Structure 1
Amino acid sequence: MGNLTTAFCRRRQVRVAMFGLDAAGKTTIPTIGFNVETCKVLNAELTVWDVGTRDKLRPLWRHYYQNTQAIVFVVDSTDRDRIDEAKQILHELLTEDELMVSMIPIAVALNKRDLENCMSKEELENKLDLRSIQQQRACEVFLTTAYPSAEVQSEITRLMEWVAEYPADREEGSVPKQKTDRLSSYFWQPLMKMKNMMFE
Structure 2
Amino acid sequence: MLLFVRTAEAGKYKQSPPDGIEPSTLRLTAARSNQLSYGGTSTFLSIIVQIAQYNLISPLQIPESRILVIGLDDAGKTTLTQRILQHMGQPSKTTIMSTVGLETYEFKDKIAKDKSTYKLFDLGGSGRFRSLWEVYASDATHIIIVIDSTDKGRIFVIRDEIQTMITKIKRANQKILVLANKSDLPNAVTHDKIVNACKFDGVLREFQIRGLNCSALQDTDIEAVVDFVKSK
What TM-score does the superposition give when structure 2 sets the normalisation length?
0.58
Residue equivalent to 1:52:
124
Distance 2:105 2:97 in 1: 13
Residue equivalent to 1:68:
140
Q: Whose helix proportion is higher, 1 or 2?
A: 1
Distance 2:169 2:136 in 1: 13
Residue equivalent to 1:85:
157
- Which segments of 5 or more consecutive residues in structure 1 lack a partner in the other structure? 1-11, 167-200
Moved over 4 A (4+): none
Residue equivalent to 1:146:
216
3, 9, 14: which one aligns with 2:65: 14
Q: With CA pairs under 8 Å and 6+ residues apart, which has the higher RCO, 1 or 2?
A: 1
Cα offset for 1:66?
A: 5.0
* 1:164 and 2:215 aligned: no
Cα offset for 1:58?
A: 2.3
SS of match in other structure, 1:103: coil
Residue equivalent to 2:206:
136
Q: Deviations over 1:145-167 (max 9, x none)?
A: 12336xx3xx321222222223x
Cα offset for 1:39?
A: 4.6
Distance 2:191 2:126 in 1: 26
Residue equivalent to 2:169:
97
Aligned CA-pair RMSD? 2.1
Native 8 Å contact 1:15 1:46 kept in 2: yes
Distance 1:53 1:89 in 2: 10
Residue equivalent to 1:170:
none
Distance 2:145 2:104 in 1: 15
Cα offset for 1:134?
A: 5.3
What TM-score does the superposition give when structure 1 sets the normalisation length?
0.66
Native 8 Å contact 1:15 1:67 kept in 2: yes
Q: Which amino acid aligns with 1:45?
A: T
